[in-house]
Structure 1
């Protein structure tokens, strides 16, 4: 597919990206004009009375925003706050906004991430491509005292109190703007956010800091994703994270299929490898892929991500499992965010 080809060009420094230079110049011009319109006041920015924390990135594709949103919501709830999550609802078919996500909302209607967030969190989750409109709804109809915006770093129509930028092990690719590279905004944008979260292991974290923060005076923290347990899609049965690692018989291993339709599918397969889980085949799908029953082979033990499980739950067979993954961040990060909100 074209998206897969582009990603291969971006992250392998292919010279073929120069064929896309005219389109990148158009993208840069339109983006610059749009942001200038907000700076000089031609376009108005809505500033809420409720503190708003933006969780975003400057590159396309999933890189760990959703786990960070979950961490933030759980932290603030533990501190006595009443958080609400706003999301665009990318990939969903919902047409009426703002829309309050419920446990009965299918991912095809509201989008993958909002459905996952509602499944994991005990708080209100709203979707609306116009986040300022959703923010006004929150102000009028909820008791929220903090809003966590899942994505939206480039959604300048909504004012924000804190900007958090998530970067994974892939860094910024070739450093080019779309479509020559993966960037929605130039690397200079990093100097304007409040904090950068690196979704990476220790070695990758150090390398990314050295590469991206040499000329940027900004706080940064490491975000570690830890696999906690396996969950059955049909009956919510829980297995220890090491359960499938015990499969050593060749016949059992040949019946295990790993699949992932996320921004970086290899991240999931690397996690399985780190858990010493052997499998017959690994199938990669584009981010936000719309799975159907034919994608889930019978007579296989199917291992997948939680994000994919949300979309497959209603047609999965009894031997389908997703890996629950939770993020871990230094306590100093949360304290710094809360302090900025109070100020």
Structure 2
């Protein structure tokens, strides 16, 4: 219901306004004060010896940050950089922090997004609620640039490039702060960032346009690949920030959908609930982010749909040029 208030102007907002409006004002006041404390030096922030690039957003929920992080890592590798990735590991609880993600690291410990980034890119990935600790854990690996998956509002870590990802269809909803609206910070914050990436929809002036391009469906167990339209009687599930986006992608691929089920973002699934859901059709299909959580108990009729971020040539070059410019000015890691 809350997302309907945020993005669909649901009339329930009038009933909840007296409660949500003062809480929204309080949230804005606290977050603004906290940011000013870091800017003034009243609160201590950490500056890494290598450039830090934040890929974040100003709204709650999924906007497509993780595909951007993966794309960015892969492009920087092509240019000869040695990137590392840090993340808070939202929804997970590690035995100790900072946690270095490895092949056998449980998503219960590191979170789904860090595990996905590690599996897709192979670069060092560290998780910690204190992102500076995660950065320090990566430095011995010889990384020469840090990408943070989310963390725009984590001002305890200084950054050199700020990239904000915007849902091109939902944009900023009612443009109110949490909990009255989806905003973590006001839209004025966008005037200060280096790059705004619009995921889907129509990019506004000055924004970089991005599309998420789906590949073939991949079987979780056999790794076989088939065009999604070839799979019969698909049950689709998604535990991401905005599940309808995934279902719409499947429809565009002419998938034979018989059931769709959205879950909360970062949900820790029970095998039994997914097995019961799969029985409503012949095949179960999910996002790649969900697949990293289900790999240990997946059935032979479970599939995932990988997606890859794609940019126009001029937007791609603009993003990379900004990072290269910062890296050249930064000097060597020992500077």
User: Corresponding residue for 2:35?
Assistant: 35
Change over 3 Å in CA distance of 1:104–1:246 after alignment to 2: closer
Q: Is the 8 A contact 1:53 1:161 kept in 2?
A: yes
| RMSD (Å) for aligned C-alpha atoms | 1.5
How far residue 310 of structure 1 moved from its aligned partner, in angstroms, is 1.0
1:44 matched to 2:44? The reply is yes
How far residue 57 of structure 1 moved from its aligned partner, in angstroms, is 0.3
Note the alpha carbon deviations across 1:38-59, whole angstroms, 9 max, x for none: 1221101111120110000000
Q: Is the 8 A contact 1:101 1:124 kept in 2?
A: yes
Instruction: Report the secondary structure of 1:80's partner residue.
Output: coil
- Name the CA distance, whole Å, in 1 between partners of 2:87 and 2:230: 39
1:335 matched to 2:321? The reply is yes
Note the alpha carbon deviations across 1:72-125, whole angstroms, 9 max, x for none: 110111111111000001111114111100010111111110111111112100
Q: Is the 8 A contact 2:87 2:128 kept in 1?
A: yes
Note the alpha carbon deviations across 1:254-274, whole angstroms, 9 max, x for none: xx2111111010001100110
Q: Is the 8 A contact 1:198 1:205 kept in 2?
A: yes
How far residue 148 of structure 1 moved from its aligned partner, in angstroms, is 0.5
Q: Is the 8 A contact 1:161 1:341 kept in 2?
A: no
Say which of 251, 254, 269 aligns to 1:291: 269
User: Corresponding residue for 1:272?
Assistant: 250
Q: Is the 8 A contact 2:216 2:228 kept in 1?
A: no
Q: Is the 8 A contact 2:287 2:306 kept in 1?
A: yes
Stretches of structure 2 lacking an aligned partner (at least 5 in a row) = 330-335
Matched residue pairs, number? 316
The alignment's TM-score, normalised by the length of structure 1, stands at: 0.89
Instruction: Report the secondary structure of 2:306's partner residue.
Output: strand
Say which of 304, 307, 311 aligns to 2:289: 307
Instruction: Report the secondary structure of 1:89's partner residue.
Output: coil
- Name the CA distance, whole Å, in 2 between partners of 1:136 and 1:269: 39
- Name the CA distance, whole Å, in 1 between partners of 2:289 and 2:51: 28
- Name the CA distance, whole Å, in 2 between partners of 1:86 and 1:340: 19
1:8 matched to 2:4? The reply is yes
Note the alpha carbon deviations across 1:255-307, whole angstroms, 9 max, x for none: x2111111010001100110111211111111111111122235430011101
How far residue 65 of structure 1 moved from its aligned partner, in angstroms, is 0.5
Q: Which segment drifts farther, 12-21 or 325-334?
A: 12-21
Q: Which segment drifts farther, 36-45 or 290-299?
A: 290-299
Instruction: Report the secondary structure of 1:45's partner residue.
Output: coil
How far residue 236 of structure 1 moved from its aligned partner, in angstroms, is 1.5
- Name the CA distance, whole Å, in 2 between partners of 1:259 and 1:223: 24
User: Corresponding residue for 1:110?
Assistant: 110
How far residue 28 of structure 1 moved from its aligned partner, in angstroms, is 1.2
Instruction: Report the secondary structure of 1:314's partner residue.
Output: helix
1:205 matched to 2:202? The reply is yes
Note the alpha carbon deviations across 1:288-334, whole angstroms, 9 max, x for none: 11111122235430011101111111122100000011111233232
1:319 matched to 2:305? The reply is no
1:257 matched to 2:235? The reply is yes
Q: Is the 8 A contact 2:87 2:149 kept in 1?
A: yes
